[in-house]
Amino acid sequence: MGACPGCELLPQAVGEQGVLYLCPPLGHTLGKIREALRSAAVACDEPAGGILAVNLESCELARLAEVLDGRLTSAEEAGTRCLHLDGLAAISISDLGRMQTLQTLLARARGRWLLQMLEASRVATYFQPIICTERPDHVFGYECLTRGISAAGRLVSPGEMFEVARDAGLLFQLDRALRLRHIHAAVKQELTSKVFINFNPTAIYDPASCLKSTVQAIANSKMRPNQFVFEVVESDTVADPDHLPRILDYYRDHGYLIALDDFGAGYGSVNLLTKLKPDFIKFDMHLMRDVHLDRYKSLVTSRLLDMAHKLNIRTICEGIESPEEYQWAVRHGADYVQGYLFGRPSPVPETATMGAI
């Protein structure tokens, strides 16, 4: 099966020439767009009933986004279809595949910086160590964390990047780009430990095609497949309950390991453990914050740790920032810990830890 062009190819930005056709879902929406353009002195034609045509030479996309900002509801933006033609050629059947929603088009205009960032590969990998609980001087693995780099050199958080990517229809491309970037970074650093890489299951249509480049990159790396642990990111809900297990089975078939991130919510909920059978569970940092002082957190988290051990699932407590939180994790049998107490994310993997605490 071939690679997925929807994941690998970045969409071309709408240029400043040609015509942008807008097809709103309702006459009321059509009137609102027409009035917004008229108020901003943006010329538009109506070549057919219910369709507006904006000449981009008189109003580039960035300005159009400003003109329409706040004028339409999110449902109206999502229901309005758009098509950009470079010239005056008639619309063909093949053009229909390039139609997109006004919501996506405007989001790409507002988040043009993300597309430029991906085009220029301005993304960096930061490594945070994961430590053996009973041997705090030993690094078990590293989680690969994302930092974007703006045109001005500012670091951009992954949360900011993914928020724009969802709205702009760039989630597939961003998730793939980061997976490959982290694999290449691990190879460059000659890591021999476990490498934890986040992935978003909603960014994968079909694992055989969408993950082909990921599998190939690991094969070319000469690293062992079981060095790679793919963490399920919980920020998006997968509508098809069978889709996530298919993705995880595909990873396992290639020898990779699986972790559930932020255990306690979303995909990390208890009722999915028997279905997904992860190799690792990463306890959310909010569960661990001051866990030694909060008897509710302590009771709940200790029971979850005990359950995971009985299921032969290895456990990682995230967000450990104090010796007391670490000592609680030791007493309650956590296998590994991760947090600022042992090392902050760094572009070069830290090999020295606090040692004995």
Q: Is the pLDDT of residue 190 over 90?
A: yes
Q: Confirm whether 353 is domain-assigned.
A: no
Domain termination site, one of 109, 137, 170 = 109
Q: Is residue 2 part of a domain?
A: no
Q: Structure tokens of 318?
A: 């995230």
Within a domain: 8 = no
Residue range 2-30, pLDDT digits in tens:
556 566 666 665 556 788 899 999 999 99
In this prediction, residue 93 has a pLDDT band, given cuts at 50, 70 and 90, of confident
Indicate if 161 and 86 belong to the same structural domain: no
Inside any domain, residue 344: no
Q: What share of the chain is helix, strand, coil (3-state, %, to 5)?
A: 45, 20, 35
Q: Is residue 343 part of a domain?
A: no
Q: Check pLDDT > 60 for residue 355.
A: no
7 domain residue, yes or no: no
Specify the CATH number for the domain of residue 33. Answer: 3.30.70
Is residue 102 one of the residues assigned to a domain? yes
Question: Are 104 and 167 contained in the same domain?
Answer: no
What's the full length of the chain, in residues?
357
Among the candidates 109, 126, 159, a domain finishes at: 109
Least confident stretch, 98-102, 231-235, 310-314: 231-235
- pLDDT on residue 59: 78
Same domain, 191 and 286: yes
Answer yes or no: do 154 and 178 share one domain: yes
Residue 214 above 70 pLDDT?
yes
Location of structure tokens 């490959």: 180
- What's the rounded mean pLDDT across residues 162-175? 90
pLDDT of residue 103 exceeding 80, the answer is yes
| Whether pLDDT at 105 is above 70 | yes
The reported pLDDT for the residue numbered 356 is 47
Asked if residue 191 and residue 52 are part of one domain, the reply reads no
- Structural domain boundaries enclosing 23: 14-109
Whether residues 32 and 173 fall in one domain: no
Mean pLDDT over 165-189 rounds to: 93
Mean pLDDT of 327-354: 90
pLDDT band at 204 (very low <50, low <70, confident <90, very high): confident
pTM: 0.87
Residues 6+ apart with CB under 8 A from 52: 21, 22, 23, 24, 30, 33, 34, 37, 44, 45, 46
pLDDT at residue 183 in the model: 97
Say what percent of the chain tops pLDDT 90: 57
- pLDDT reading at 64 higher than 90: no
> Which tens digit of pLDDT belongs to each residue from 248-288?
999 999 999 999 888 865 555 676 777 788 999 999 888 89
What is the average pLDDT across 68-86?
A: 90
Do residues 304 and 257 share a domain?
yes
Q: Domain end: 58, 83, 109, which one?
A: 109
- Please give the mean pLDDT across all residues of the chain: 87
Name the most confidently modeled range: 39-43, 76-80, 140-144.
Answer: 140-144
Strand blocks (E) in the chain: 19-23, 44-48, 51-55, 81-85, 100-101, 123-132, 135-149, 155-156, 194-199, 228-232, 257-263, 280-283, 314-317, 336-338
Residues 146 and 279 in one domain: yes
Reduce the DSSP state of residue 71 to 3 states and report it.
coil
**What pLDDT is recorded for position 351?**
79
- Per the structure, how many domains does the chain have? 2
pLDDT of 293 over the 70 cut: yes
Q: What is the CATH number of the domain that holds 160?
A: 3.20.20.450
* 355, part of any domain: no
Q: Do 166 and 309 fall within a single domain?
A: yes
Please check whether residues 105 and 170 belong to one and the same domain. no
Q: What is the pLDDT of residue 206?
A: 86
The β-bridge relationship of strands 100-101 and 314-317 is unpaired
CA distance 341 to 133: 12
Same-domain pairing of 153 and 90: no
**Helix and strand totals (H; E) in the chain:** 15, 14
306 and 236 in a single domain? The answer is: yes
